[in-house]
Amino acid sequence: MANPRRTWSSNTTSQSIENQNPFQSQTQTQSQSILFFLKKPQAFPFLLSFFLLLTWLSLRLQNSSRFSSPPQFHASTHTRDEEDLNANLVRFPSAFPSQITRDKRGWLLDPITLARDASISGGAKSCASIHVGEIRPGGVRGNHRHHDCNETLVIWGADTLFRLENTNVVGKGYAEVRVGAGEVAVAVSPSGTAHALRNVDPVRVTFFIGCQDNIISYSNSSTDFNVWKDF
């Protein structure tokens, strides 16, 4: 004969275990349903969309941190070789991203501030006079020496030779560097220092900006012309 007390006790224990944590049972059921769905081929578009969303969010966070503050141009953060130092020149890639190209619209800079932050001394303190121009292949600009102003130059667009008078360069008396077509260079020519530009690119055009901190009058005797006969 069965013991009714033992049967009632077993039923009560079973019911108490089932009712102990109903949320846990529901969670396990939901997890099993999700796993079952993910194993189906129909889940592939969902998973792909999810990973694409994570990738997009990651790229947005990286870009926001990169451009959250304006770039600083310090000599300690930009490698310059000896030739660029002798030519009072600093160069940057024109393509995105670089220190002067903050977004895909292209590069943008303040030449006076950039030259100062890059520790290039002797440049224009302000733009009292400014010249913007081009040099077609084989052409020359400058090859002169101003005695009454400091000048800061921006050079870009084509393979270009830049020459700057420098008595510290033994055997030459000048420094000469080549600015590539994919670069933007800022150079400084202090008062009393000759400078010249030559486009050595067979196809592309050189563009430049010359910023002087005094009004330039090329008709007076304060500028020496044709300084170098071999340029």
Q: Are residues 28 and 85 in the same domain?
A: no
215 domain residue, yes or no: yes
> Based on the domain organization, do 14 and 35 belong to the same domain?
yes
Question: Does 158 map to a domain?
Answer: yes
Residue from 112, 131, 123 nearest 164 by CA: 123
CATH of residue 170: 2.60.120.10
Interval 157-181 mean pLDDT: 96
pTM for the predicted model, two decimal places: 0.66
Domain presence at residue 231: no
Token pair belonging to 215: 């009004």
Looking at the fold, whether 100 and 206 belong to one and the same domain comes out as yes
Tell me the mean pLDDT in the region 81-99: 92
Whether residue 87 is found in the same domain as residue 166: yes
Asked whether residue 153 falls in the same domain as residue 217, the answer is yes
Residue 113 located in a structural domain:
yes
Q: Is the pLDDT of residue 76 over 50?
A: no
- In-domain check, residue 39: yes
| Total structural domains within the chain | 2
Whether 51 and 136 share a structural domain: no
Residue 78 has pLDDT above 50, yes or no: no
User: pLDDT: is 49 or 112 the higher one?
Assistant: 112
Range of the domain at 18: 4-66
Indicate whether 79 pLDDT > 60. no
59 within some domain: yes
Region 86-100: mean pLDDT is: 92
Q: Are residues 62 and 99 in the same domain?
A: no
Residues 27 and 113 reside in one and the same domain: no
Domain membership flag for residue 230: no
- Which 3-state string (H, E, C) describes the chain? CCCHHHHHHHHHHHHHHHCCCHHHHHHHHHHHHHHHHHCCHHHHHHHHHHHHHHHHHHHHHHHHHHCCCCCCCCHHHCCCCHHHHHCCEEEEECCCCCCCCCECCECCCCHHHHHHHCCCCCCCCCCCEEEEEEECCCCEEEEEEECCCCEEEEEECCCEEEEEECCCCCCCCEEEEEECCCEEEEEEECCCCEEEEEECCCCCCEEEEEEECCCCCCCCCCEEECCCCCC
Residue 160 counted as domain residue: yes
**Which pLDDT tens digit goes with each residue over 199-230?**
999 999 999 999 999 987 777 778 999 999 99
Mean pLDDT over 132-147 rounds to: 96
> pLDDT higher for 205 or 26?
205
Model confidence at 48: pLDDT above 60: yes
